[in-house]
Amino acid sequence: MFEFITWGGAALSLTGLAGLIWCILRVMKARKAGLSDDELRATVQGVLPWNLASLFLSVLGLMLVILGISFG
């Protein structure tokens, strides 16, 4: 039972990490495109909710991993 929680948390954490990498690549692409300041700001504001959601997913996954290891 707790092994499932540990591996599920690891998968959730890796999904969040992939989301964070996607956010980084998206902003780097926008910076290299030579957008104006307002366009770059709009891009960053659009990526921000995805960044926060990915970070939350990663933290939640790590919490599940710790829970699974502690009780398993």
> For 56-72, how does the pLDDT look when each residue is reduced to its tens digit (9 = 90+)?
999 999 999 999 999 98
Average pLDDT over the chain, rounded to an integer: 95
Phi-psi region of 67 (alpha: psi -120 to 50; beta: other; left: phi over 0): alpha
User: pLDDT tens digit string along 1-45?
Assistant: 889 999 999 999 999 999 999 999 999 999 999 889 999 999 999
Residue 1: its pLDDT value, please? 84
Residue 35 carries which side chain, given as an amino acid letter? L
pLDDT at 29: 95
pLDDT in tens, 34-57: 889 999 999 999 999 999 999 999
How buried is 51 (Cβ within 10 angstroms: 0-12 exposed, 13-18 middle, 19+ buried)?
Answer: middle
Tokens of 10: 């690891």
Q: What ranges do the domains of the chain cover?
A: 2-71
